[in-house]
Amino acid sequence: MINNSEMEDPANKLKDLKRLKLENQKLKQKTLTLTKRNQTSIDSIKSNAELYLEKLQAENQKLTEEVLRLTKKNNTRLAFQSELYKKAIEAKMSNEARKKSTKPN
């Protein structure tokens, strides 16, 4: 003899199957939505990273140019200083030579 719950079992299983299919569809839709959001976030992060990289590269270029300018300025000053030392040494040697030549024997 079949009891009443066993007779309802196929009907309940069908209801459960339909409910599960609907839940599955909702989950698929939610997964798609989250995937799209995630991709949008990734794209935004990439874009921000690219902009930040461009900013850093521009700043680096500016600093590199400043270092180059200061290096040239420093080299010019060093050359001038070297020339002054050279002239000072020549003047000292000339002065010493003059003193020796005017010194009484």
Q: Which two tokens stand for residue 87?
A: 């002239």
**CA 52 to mean position of chain CA atoms:** 6
pLDDT at 5: 55
Give one DSSP letter per residue of 16-38, joined into a string.
Answer: HHHHHHHHHHHHHHHHHHHHHHH
Average pLDDT over residues 65-90: 98
CA dist 48 and 43 (Å) reads 9
In sequence order, the 6+-apart residues with CB closer than 8 A to the CB of 98 are none
pLDDT at 36: 98
pTM as predicted: 0.56
Helix (H, G, I), strand (E, B) or coil at 103: coil
More confident residue, 4 or 28: 28
CA dist 90 and 84 (Å) reads 10
The string of pLDDT tens digits covering residues 45-76 is 999 999 999 999 999 999 999 999 999 999 99
